[in-house]
């Protein structure tokens, strides 16, 4: 049956087989459009484990004032060296996290026709479903199925979210709201660790956005030849990732890929480009990617927090002086989106274009 999709009239379901379908069909090899040129392949055998000192941060210890300076120092070091850390005892109940992962699993299990009704390449759409189908202009395809939705304030957006599976809105909604509250606490902590006031960007946060990127990486017969997501950094200020199993990798200061281990109940906190700029390069917005595996489908839910689209972001004046001149020119989300639309998918690092060569 040929069917045009709602938001993208050029896509017909009869001409396209998504990664979920390929995986369900038990394909023994990946179609050639997914196979990366050798230089971009993940070299799965050479991936490192991250620095052993990067133990997860126990957020319940913030209740004990005498432990606070030590934890702030741990966070400062992690943000400086790698640009990420994990948190445990963060207050989001395990049932809320598993509820969101279950809702995502059920959504991606839906027939392709149903998911394609959300297909769109337009970033202004409140809900966007994507598969390799949206990447045709890039010629290289990735082994990922995803749905992105705008999420804050939830009352403004939730009507547009999928109503099948039936529990999607409730379960994804509960997690979305909980992770929004957690991000506010974390932003205060991260700004405090930079020596800026904890309320440094409070007002801007109110005008900013939260987008949930719900990703599914189906099991893949040839994981060495493909990537789920190519190397990139996130443009916002903070990303919080819930992952069902290993697959997220971060590039360290020596350009080595490190896999982020799964820690029970933990969430991964990543610094984004806007924070690297505001910190004048003290904190890293890490380049990261997602690899896939032969065993099982992997789900990740990235809560992407950004300042308003047209908000120009510059190094904090408090962190700039004669010894520390500004290292970045101002950037904005609008400029970032324009950059993405014009550059090759494997070379999209907007932040590099903002660096000032001293």
Ligand X SMILES: O=C(O)CCC(=O)C(=O)O
Report the residue number, 115 or 232, with the smaller CB distance to ligand X.
232
Longest dimension (CA), the chain: 67
Dihedral angle of Cα 234, 315, 260, 90, to the nearest 10 degrees: -100
269-298 residues near ligand X, rule: CB under 6 A:
288, 290
Judged by CB under 5 A, the chain residues 228 through 287 that form the site for Fe ion are 234
Question: Residues 245-264: x/- map of binding to ligand X (CB under 6 A)?
Answer: --xx----------------
CB of 230 to ligand X, least distance (A): 10
**In terms of C-beta density within 10 A (0-12 exposed, 13-18 middle, 19 or more buried), how is residue 26 classed?**
exposed
Stretch 206-225 residues interacting with ligand X (CB under 6 A): 213, 215
Nearer to ligand X, 118 or 200 (CB): 118
- Is 241 a binder of ligand X (CB under 6 A)? yes
According to DSSP, the residues that pair with 43 across neighbouring strands are none
Choices 152-160, 191-199, 239-247, 350-358; region in contact with ligand X by CB under 6 A: 239-247
Binding status of residue 102 toward Fe ion by CB under 5 A: no
Given Fe ion, ligand X, none, residue 226, with its beta carbon under 5 to 8 Å by kind, binds none
In the chain, what is the straight-line distance between the N-terminal and C-terminal CA atoms, in Å? 59
Distance CA 352, CA 32 (A): 31
Query: Binding to ligand X by residue 227, rule CB under 6 A?
Result: no
Other Cβ atoms within 10 Å of 100 Cβ, number: 26
Distance CA 8, CA 108 (A): 19
Q: How far is the CB of 279 from Fe ion (least distance, A)?
A: 18
Query: Measured from the CB of residue 302, what is the shortest distance to ligand X in angstroms?
Result: 4
Tokens (6 digits) for 117? 């009704």
Q: Which of 176, 193, 274, 300 binds ligand X (CB under 6 A)?
A: 300
Residue 213 binding target from ligand X, Fe ion, none, CB below 5 to 8 Å by type: ligand X
| Distance in angstroms (rounded) separating the CA atoms of residues 129 and 19 | 13
| Partner in contact with 248, chosen from ligand X, Fe ion, none, beta carbon below 5 to 8 Å by kind | ligand X
Tokens at 354, concatenated:
């903002």
* Cβ neighbours, 10 Å, residue 23: 20
Distance CA 351, CA 180 (A): 25
Separation of alpha carbons 162 and 141, rounded Å:
25
Size of the site for Fe ion (CB under 5 A): 1
Rule CB under 6 A: is residue 101 a binding residue for ligand X? no
Stretch that binds ligand X, among 77-85, 89-97, 243-251, 320-328 (CB under 6 A): 243-251
Q: Which residue in the set 74, 81, 125, 234 belongs to the binding site for ligand X (CB under 6 A)?
A: 234
For residue 108, what are the CA distances in angstroms to 15, 112, 130, 147, 298?
A: 19, 8, 11, 9, 11
Whether residue 296 contacts residue 223, with contact meaning beta carbons closer than 8 Å, is answered with: no
| The only residue of 19, 190, 302, 351 in contact with ligand X, by rule CB under 6 A | 302
Q: Which is nearer to ligand X, 173 or 247 (CB)?
A: 247
CB neighbour list of residue 139: distance below 8 Å, 6 or more residues apart: 33
Q: Which does 115 bind (CB under 5 to 8 A by kind): Fe ion, ligand X, none?
A: none
Q: Which stretch binds ligand X (CB under 6 A): 155-163, 174-182, 189-197, 240-248?
A: 240-248
**What's the residue count for the chain?**
358
Q: How far is the CB of 151 from Fe ion (least distance, A)?
A: 16
Ordered strands of the 209-217 beta sheet: 57-58, 84-88, 267-271, 238-243, 298-306, 209-217, 145-150, 127-130
How many residues touch ligand X (CB under 6 A)?
12
Measured from the CB atom, the residue of 267 and 290 that comes closer to ligand X is 290
Q: Two tokens at 24?
A: 């369900």
Q: How far is CA 332 from the centre of its chain?
A: 18
Residues contributing to the site for ligand X (CB under 6 A): 213, 215, 229, 234, 241, 243, 247-248, 288, 290, 300, 302
Residues contributing to the site for Fe ion (CB under 5 A): 234
């Amino acid at each position: 049956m040929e069917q045009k999709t709602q938001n993208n009239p050029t896509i017909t379901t009869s001409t396209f087989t998504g990664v979920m379908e390929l995986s369900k069909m038990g394909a023994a090899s990946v179609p050639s459009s997914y196979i990366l040129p050798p230089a971009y392949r993940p070299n799965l055998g050479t991936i490192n484990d991250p620095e052993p000192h990067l133990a997860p941060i126990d957020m319940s210890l913030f209740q004990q004032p005498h432990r606070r300076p030590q934890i702030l120092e741990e966070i400062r070091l992690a943000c400086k060296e790698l640009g990420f850390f994990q948190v445990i005892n963060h207050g989001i109940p395990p049932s809320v996290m598993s509820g969101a992962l279950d809702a995502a699993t059920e959504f991606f299990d839906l027939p392709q026709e149903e998911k394609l009704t959300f297909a769109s390449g337009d970033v202004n759409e409140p809900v966007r479903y994507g598969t390799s189908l949206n990447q045709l202009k890039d010629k290289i395809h990735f082994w990922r199925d995803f749905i992105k939705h705008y999420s804050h304030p939830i009352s403004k957006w939730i009507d547009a979210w999928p109503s099948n599976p039936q529990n999607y809105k409730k379960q994804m909604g509960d997690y979305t709201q909980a992770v929004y509250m957690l991000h506010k606490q974390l932003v205060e902590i991260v700004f405090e660790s930079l020596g800026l006031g904890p309320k440094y960007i409070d007002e801007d946060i109110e005008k900013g956005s939260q987008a949930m990127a719900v990703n599914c990486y189906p099991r893949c017969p040839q994981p060495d030849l493909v990537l789920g997501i190519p190397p990139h950094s996130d443009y916002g200020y903070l990303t919080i990732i819930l992952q069902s199993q290993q697959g997220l990798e971060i590039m360290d200061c020596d350009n080595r890929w490190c896999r982020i281990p799964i820690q029970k109940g933990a969430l991964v906190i990543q610094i984004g480009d806007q924070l690297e700029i505001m910190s004048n390069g003290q904190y890293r917005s890490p380049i990261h990617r997602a690899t896939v595996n032969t065993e099982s489908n992997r789900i990740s839910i990235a809560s992407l927090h950004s300042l308003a689209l047209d908000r120009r972001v510059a190094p904090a004046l408090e962190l700039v002086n004669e010894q520390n001149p500004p290292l970045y020119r101002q950037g904005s989300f609008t400029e970032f989106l324009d950059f993405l639309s014009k550059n090759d998918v494997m070379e999209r690092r907007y932040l590099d274009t903002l660096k000032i060569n001293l």
